[in-house]
Structure 1
Amino acid sequence: MARYLISFNDGAMDHIPAEDFPDVGKAAHAVTQEAVTAGVWVYGGGLERQQASIVATDGTVTDGPFPETREVIGGLTVIDVPTREEALEWAAKIAVACRCAQEVRELMPDPETDAMLREAASRG
């Protein structure tokens, strides 16, 4: 199985009238429940509209994102599925529910971290 990040840009849902947001929320929660039931859900959520903080390698904290950044993530979902095609199918469901296009990217596998998580889970 591979993990995929499905995301949309901040502002991608700005075209939705305020009175439609309860329906969008219900649709998004329905897709989330479907993914949980299917056993592919890892994590998801929206990001607050606020200025990000950038932490440099020396620990210096500055406000961001940088002015040259044109797009920032507004919401994300992480799923664990066997193929890219299945990830695209879930992204299509999310796009319909959220009424905005979704970007799909495969996350790089990290067997060492996965082993640490399995070990921690087995210790309970």
Structure 2
Amino acid sequence: MTKYLISFPSGAMQVAAAEMQAVADAAHEVVREAKAAGVWVFGGGIDETVPPVRVDAGGTVTEGTYPETERIEGGYTVLELTSRDEALAWAAKIAAACRCAQEVRAFQYDPES
């Protein structure tokens, strides 16, 4: 089984404030479906009010992030699935719930994780 990251940036979700509860309800329904199917690993949205920091091997904390990842925000879901086609099908369900296209990436296989 492969773990897949299904995600979208915050700016991709263009939803009126009056529709946000319906979007949340639809997204939670997909989460419940994924859990019932036994494919759910983890999911959630990045709290954009908490600034990122970097921690080095000695424990030193530096404010900010790598320039390449300055705009990591939005929603993320990790599912463990049998195929890329299955990942694409779940991404379509999430896209319908969140009302925006989803990016799909596969994690490299690591027997320790």
TM-score bracket, shorter-length normalisation? 0.7 to 0.9
Which residue is 1:54 aligned to?
54
Equivalent-residue separation in structure 1 for 2:69 and 2:62 (angstroms):
15
Q: Which has the larger radius of gyration?
A: 1
Q: Which amino acid aligns with 1:104?
A: V
Distance 1:70 1:100, change over 3 A: farther
Matches within 5 A, 1:34-49: 34-49=33-48
Deviations 1:7-40 (A, max 9, x none): 1113322x21111110001100111111111111
Mapping of residues 30-109 of structure 1, within 5 Å: 30-50=29-49, 51-66=51-66, 69=69, 71-109=71-109
8 A Cα contact 1:55 1:61, kept in partner? yes
The SS at the match of 1:112 is: coil
| DSSP 3-state at the match of 2:6 | strand
Amino acid at match of 1:97: A
TM-score by length of 2: 0.86
Deviation of 1:63 after TM superposition, in Å, equals 2.0
Percent identity of equivalent pairs: 54
Q: Is the 8 A contact 2:48 2:73 kept in 1?
A: no
TM-score of the superposed pair, with normalisation by structure 1:
0.80
Measured on the aligned residues, the alpha-carbon RMSD in Å equals 1.8
* Structure 1 residues 57 and 10, CA gap change in structure 2 (3 angstroms): farther
Tell me how far apart the structure 2 counterparts of residues 112 and 66 of structure 1 sit (CA, whole Å).
27
Q: Distance in 2 between matches of 1:34 and 1:86?
A: 14
Residue segments in structure 1 that go unaligned for 5+ positions in a row? 114-124
Q: CA deviation at 1:57?
A: 3.8
| Alignment correspondent of 1:5 | 5
Q: Which runs of 5+ in 2 are unaligned?
A: none
